[in-house]
Chain A
């Protein structure tokens, strides 16, 4: 049964919805169209979005149960909200050069690296602080063990994942 080709609004929306459902189902352990609320962040982000924690909370407020939060999010609530997010292209990706500037802004002495202490201080005290686990995980791949510093330029190029922009135009 052939579907409508990707042109036209209907085709695009249908395709987006299919994507969202797929991502949702990966975290739907009990196969009952619900996911743990703590996994919503992963789902939203793996669909190509870069929300801040604050933006994520806003989104959650729209998809949680109105009466009492059960700790679970239903697909039927999540789908329309997420579809709109993708169509509106909210929470856009961060280009590599903007990321580089961010690291440079923290690098006071402009020496091309951050010390371990500096990075830990900024990541756990500024902005939307990391948990201990998040900090540890970032250090494990970012830190050069010999110099105990983070050469952020190298780090960024290593981590930037080449992803084709596969959202419909």
Chain B
């Protein structure tokens, strides 16, 4: 061919080539974008799983309270032993008077041995002490109990002088740094100090609550924060969070951490901490324009009331169910330990005539069920009435105290709030969450506080002439998040909260212009070296493990739900029905159809053999072969509550409860949960654990034996 056509051929060839390149590129890009989208979906689903499980856990708190209420309503104490057992559950924690507290938590007589190589504290504290502590904790050293108690004493003394709402001004320190939840993650605090600098006269900090629980170094964080608080009282501000609460600490790990680290003095330390937490301020105000609270607000939030109430009266903000007759809530935590005792026959009580405790009449024979239950009701009523009357009396005493002290301080026309109104103010501040919809409704997921809408935010900002709110309380993927049209900022400082790679932590800096500047971080070297795929896979694995466990814990309910779709008893259901059934049992609001490929491996033409699927789940969870699957299921489902109850019963924090108490707890719990469990069943359970011969149960062993606690890493 001539040269013309070869040029033509070349031209055609290169045109073809670039067309091919174009097509190839589009194909690859198309495929890659699809891949990334799928990753994004997986990431969001994983996040949903963690959140729904976390909040479902907090809903357990409601169930725990319902359990206690159930006990109050149904338990028939047939012996003084049982009566003591029950009242111990309600009246946990004697309320100490000031002098008694000092005496109980005395540290001055504690000797620090020469062998102790940790830091020594002397008061007043100096910046060198803080540096020494930081260094010591980096080396995994432990502060001697004497210094811990001393520090707590001094902290309490300091906090008592502070108002309920701290005031911070940016003109002194130029910039204020606000940090959110830390939850015992010391590495995050170190990272914040590393990136932002230590607290100092030119560096102000506000820590917005939830310093403890879940993470393993809650105590170290407290020690560091309290130390800086005492060294730089003008620059360091702490807000109380919902986890600065004894009842919550029993459940979420802080109490356990303290007892493990301080075997001899842990109980004293916990007692002191209880009395420090209640003195933490409730809120911080920057330049009178930015309000910082841990949870949120409600449509009844009243800053004037919040400023004036006696915040230390609320050692624990969690309470029991509202009683039918009385208007006031039963202040379970506030009842004086003395009221537990039998009335002095000579009537030496200072309180008005205490009714003597009614003795239950002879129980009728069990054969006649109707009569028996009538007797039960009557006896229980009497017992309850007696308990309530005791509670009423001591509570009214407190009421008078509040009223008179307020009358003397404020003008006589001033308001007199009920204990309940005050309690609600604090509860709302510490437990509420924002929601996108307008209005204000009860936060049933958490069991405390409310969901507040943009209109509620708007009204509060307007009423008090504020610019925006800063709160924490909720984990956010990026460490922070705006909502309500940038009027509410959530700041969360615990990175990798659910799992390594799950989220970043952040802190926010505000200058005189009050424009927020964010710094994000992730405190784990591994997280940085992983690719996006690897990070997501890892977090996903963790989430699905937790989800499979939850599914296992509801095996019986799932089987019933599946059977409803399998009328012909073929043992199979459609995948569609699987999804509907699972949601109807777990109530987690998860996108089950999206999650299905990870949960259900093998299917035969769109149908699932549900029994074998559940068996596979059980195989994963089974650690104790000889314990019936159904029993294990029950334990799994109720483990947090079980653990909390154990800790409440174990008042001296020894880690031991008697066999009798264990049996009692189990029986009560199973009757409340409508579980069929014979005495043999319980004995089997007990026998599977190596108990001390003295008839005590080390419940830590019990919990670990059933893998009810996360293995320490």
Contact = CB atoms under 8 A, between A and B. Distances in A.
A88 to B, nearest CB: 18
Given A26-B48, A31-B436, A166-B597, A6 B25 contact: no
A43 B579 CA distance: 20
Contact of B532 (A30, A101, A141): A141
A138 interface: yes
B116 interface: no
Given A23-B591, A102-B28, A164-B597, A45 B34 contact: yes
B22 interface: yes
Nearest to B596: A166
A31 B434 CA distance: 13
Contacts of A14: 576
Interface in A50-88: 50-53
A52 B577 CA distance: 34
Nearest to B594: A22
Contacts of A45: 33-34, 37-38
B31 A126 contact: no
B42 to A, nearest CB: 8
Contact of A123 (B25, B34, B48, B436): B25
Given A2-B567, A163-B597, A134 B32 contact: yes
A128 B48 contact: no
Given A46-B40, A137-B36, A141-B532, A127 B565 contact: no
Contacts of A99: 27-28, 31
Interface in A91-142: 93-94, 98-99, 101-103, 105-106, 122-123, 126-130, 134, 137-138, 140-141
A9 interface: no
Contacts of A22: 591-594
B597 A18 contact: no
A126 B25 contact: yes
Contact of B41 (A46, A51, A98): A46
Interface in A1-56: 2-3, 5-6, 11, 14-15, 18-19, 22-23, 25-27, 29-32, 41-46, 49-53
B416 interface: no
B635 to A, nearest CB: 32
A101 B36 CA distance: 21
Contacts of B574: 3, 5-6
Contacts of A32: 436-437
Interface string B603-620: 100100000000000000
B30 interface: yes
A51 B694 CA distance: 70
Contacts of A163: 597
B24 A102 contact: yes
A29 B34 CA distance: 22
A156 to B, nearest CB: 9
Given A2-B577, A50-B30, A42 B41 contact: yes
A29 B436 contact: yes
B37 A168 contact: no
Contact of A126 (B21, B35, B579): B21
Contact of B27 (A11, A94, A137, A159): A94
Nearest to A19: B593
B112 interface: no
A25 B564 CA distance: 27
A138 B532 contact: no
Contact of B575 (A50, A93, A103, A166): A166
Given A18-B576, A46-B41, A127-B25, A137 B30 contact: no
A98 B26 CA distance: 12
Contacts of B577: 2-3
A59 B295 CA distance: 42
Contacts of B31: 50, 94, 99
A105 B34 contact: no
Q: Could you tell me the dominant secondary structure of chain A's interface residues?
A: helix
Nearest to B41: A46
Contact of B26 (A5, A52, A103): A52
B166 to A, nearest CB: 33
A105 to B, nearest CB: 4
A116 B31 CA distance: 19
Nearest to B25: A127
A126 B40 CA distance: 25
Given A23-B41, A29-B436, A140-B531, A159 B25 contact: no
A46 B603 CA distance: 21
B308 interface: no
B20 interface: yes
A122 B21 contact: yes
A153 B567 CA distance: 50
B445 interface: no
B30 A51 contact: yes
A160 B32 CA distance: 10
A105 B21 contact: yes
Given A15-B576, A127-B25, A141-B532, A49 B34 contact: yes
Contacts of A43: 37, 41
Interface string B585-597: 0000001111011
A53 B591 CA distance: 26
Contact of B37 (A2, A46, A101): A46
B221 to A, nearest CB: 32
Contacts of B33: 41, 45, 53, 134
A42 B531 CA distance: 20
A165 to B, nearest CB: 11
Interface string B219-233: 000000000000000
A143 to B, nearest CB: 10
Nearest to B595: A22
Interface in B1-33: 20-33
A141 B436 contact: no
A159 to B, nearest CB: 6
Contacts of B441: none
Contacts of B444: none
A18 B593 contact: yes
B317 to A, nearest CB: 28
A18 B593 CA distance: 8
Nearest to A29: B436
A19 B41 CA distance: 13
Contacts of B532: 137, 140-141
A134 B580 CA distance: 37
B115 to A, nearest CB: 49
A153 to B, nearest CB: 14
B157 interface: no
Given A22-B592, A134-B32, A103 B24 contact: yes
A57 B532 CA distance: 27
A83 to B, nearest CB: 14
B533 A123 contact: no
A167 B40 CA distance: 20
A34 to B, nearest CB: 11
Contacts of A137: 36, 532
B441 to A, nearest CB: 14
Interface of B: 20-38, 40-41, 44-45, 48, 436-437, 531-533, 564-565, 567, 574-577, 579-580, 591-594, 596-597, 603, 606
24 contacts: A3-B576, A6-B576, A6-B606, A22-B592, A26-B591, A30-B436, A41-B37, A43-B37, A46-B594, A50-B31, A50-B34, A102-B24, A103-B28, A122-B28, A123-B28, A126-B21, A127-B24, A128-B25, A130-B32, A134-B33, A141-B532, A159-B35, A166-B575, A168-B606
Given A50-B30, A159-B533, A163-B597, 8 more contacts: A30-B436, A45-B37, A50-B31, A51-B30, A98-B27, A105-B21, A140-B531, A166-B597
Question: Which 4 A-B pairs have CB atoms at the shortest separation, nearest pair first?
Answer: A127-B25, A45-B37, A46-B41, A126-B25
